Amino acid sequence: MVDSTDTANDDTENKKPSNFLRQIIDKDLADSTVQSIVTRFPPEPNGHLHIGHAKAICLNFGLAQDYQGQCHLRFDDTNPEKESNEFIKAITDDISWLGFQWHGDIRYASNYFDQLHEFANQLIEKGLAYVCDLSAEEARNYRGTLTEPGTNSPYRERSVEENASLFAKMTAGDFDEGACVLRAKIDMAAPNVNLRDPIIYRIRKVTHHQTGDKWCVYPTYDFTHGQSDAIEGITHSICTLEFEDHKPLYNWFLEHLPVPSQPRQFEFSRLNVNYTVTSKRKLKQLVDDAVVDGWDDPRMPTISGMRRRGYAPESIRSFCTATGVTRVNGIVDMAMLEFAVREHHNLHAPRVMVVINPLKVVITNYPDEQVESLDAPNHPQNESMGVRKVPFSKTFYIDREDFREEANKKFKRLVIGKKVRLRNAYVVKADSVVKDEHGEITEVHVSYDAGTLGQDPSDGVKPKGVIQWVSADKGVPITVRLYDRLFDQESPEKALDSDSGENDFMSCVNPDSFSELTHCIAEPSLLEASPEQVFQFEREGYFVSDRFDYRAGQPVFNKTIGLRDSWPKQEQS
């Protein structure tokens, strides 16, 4: 875990290109506008964090880290009916796993409910807030449009005394949900609709996961956010561009309340990745409709899903850094994230041999009872990772795709009458096959050259192919789950239903995004794999031992990613 005052360990992350936020901070420090940097990460605990949140985490914690400042973790818990402690735990786990540590204790917006309630009363006393009895539909009609001003509520001119009394009754639970709300009195004709008397308190008779039943009125996000920043002494409140239109309201509250500090809001472009959706509502729909197996399904773009898929936190941090920090929205190619994943695992993942689709092979000239223990490097480019022992015997398995009875010269694997090298073992030549009554090959009979262990054949003819194998006697069965991209269309957010014209992202779900194989055979060293350990299965890809379904002696591996990008390139829409 990396504290916000520590330096990053990964060399690739030490390269910190400048961006407009760093330029602002540099100037603020040089001008003594601030003495030190305090940022915050304020998620709502109503779901798991996704790849877009990962960038916000890296940015807020990373800036605090680089400038020897602080980053607070504060849960924006103003909607108790959608929030839970389960999500709070998932979010804290995600942040820690990514390699960051928040400053001090975990904070909650609910920590400030008493102060926020007092702020609301102060707005009432100043004549800047009123209790409004309009229904939700009526309020929408009064609000106006982007091109037409709104209309004042008929309750807008209630007296300070009446508003104070009504708000007290709201707080005491005397009104039903939806009966009334507390609104700020700003300007119903403002061009920015966020300033048209926004709601700052509403009635919610719901038990809160932190405060229990103390409250039946809860502040809105817009009212909570800036004041919470001010209470905590946040210097740079960094958020994504969709909050840019809320900034005037953020500042209005700070200007009209006796807050202890004056934080400033800065916006950057959110991280959008193709072949994904990052709307929490849509991610929740995938979970609720059982399209995926929970928020941490390895196909989900959630941090917990990517973790279970076998993505390294270093890869995610590297990817977030590489996407840059700008104020221009765009879409990043999923291949960029996948490249970062491959790049890390290529350097750090030990190699093992696994046969995904086994075909039995018998060496006809090998001693029946002999079992050799052969040395195999754990990483061919990194001797420091050592070697492991691999058992070799008369009967072994190869992948069915690595054998053909006949093939052209481009096929550099096992063919009748041709030679191939077994990885870290001998050269063998295919002589014949055994077939069942359906004509399916059940065995391949080969002969081996005993002098080719670590050496070329004596006849000087080097085999052109190398294939993986696993001893039939000593190999172990494993379960392999194959995962691919959840969506087979580049822009699922743009898919439209032909009848309603509304977004139909569900129509883009890839039907081949998951399959489970239970007949795979692995070298016995994989029995010692620990949960979340990543390996390169030779010539197959990178696989991770599942963090939850791990059982000693019965490993389950999730496919993290193939050795190369197999997705066809599509033109940007």
pLDDT, tens digit (0-9, with 9 covering 90-100), for 385-401: 999 999 999 999 999 99
pLDDT of 456 reads: 87
Distances (CA, A) of 236 to 92, 110, 554: 22, 21, 49
Displacement of CA 523 from its chain's centroid (Å): 31
Which ranges in the chain are annotated with CATH 3.90.800.10?
113-220
Q: Can you tell me the distance from the alpha carbon of 173 to that of 86, in angstroms, rounded to the nearest whole number?
A: 28
- Coil, helix or strand for 438? coil
Displacement of CA 220 from its chain's centroid (Å): 27
Active site residue 413: no
Rg (CA), the chain: 31
Catalytic hit among 280, 282, 429, 474: 280
Displacement of CA 20 from its chain's centroid (Å): 25
Q: Strand 427-435 vs strand 441-449: parallel, antiparallel, or unpaired?
A: antiparallel
- A 10 A CB-CB count for 379 gives 17
Which ranges in the chain are annotated with CATH 3.40.50.620?
2-111+223-276+312-327
DSSP state of 158: -
Q: Which two tokens stand for residue 31?
A: 């001008």
Q: Which two tokens stand for residue 336?
A: 């960029």
pLDDT of 5 reads: 42
- Coil, helix or strand for 534? strand
Helix (H) or strand (E) holding 364: none
CATH architecture of 2-111+223-276+312-327: 3-Layer(aba) Sandwich (3.40)
pLDDT of 571 reads: 43
Regarding the domain with residue range 352-471, which homologous superfamily does it belong to in the CATH classification? Ribosomal Protein L25; Chain P (2.40.240.10)
Q: Which two tokens stand for residue 351?
A: 């190699």
Active site residue 280: yes
Catalytic hit among 82, 156, 270, 423: 270
Active site residue 270: yes
Which ranges in the chain are annotated with CATH 2.40.240.10?
277-311+328-348+475-573, 352-471
| Residue 266 contacts residue 238 (beta carbons within 8 Å) | yes
- pLDDT beneath 70, residues of the chain: 1-15, 566-573
Displacement of CA 435 from its chain's centroid (Å): 47
pLDDT of 567 reads: 61
Catalytic hit among 22, 44, 156, 429: 44
301-337 pLDDT, tens digit each: 999 999 999 999 999 999 999 999 999 999 999 999 9
For domain 113-220, the CATH class is alpha beta
Regarding the domain with residue range 277-311+328-348+475-573, which homologous superfamily does it belong to in the CATH classification? Ribosomal Protein L25; Chain P (2.40.240.10)
Q: Can you tell me the distance from the alpha carbon of 225 to that of 250, in angstroms, rounded to the nearest whole number?
A: 8
Distances (CA, A) of 33 to 24, 25, 48, 236, 262: 10, 9, 36, 11, 11
Give just the sign of the alpha carbon dihedral 133, 134, 136, 142.
Answer: negative
Q: Can you tell me the distance from the alpha carbon of 537 to that of 193, in angstroms, rounded to the nearest whole number?
A: 56
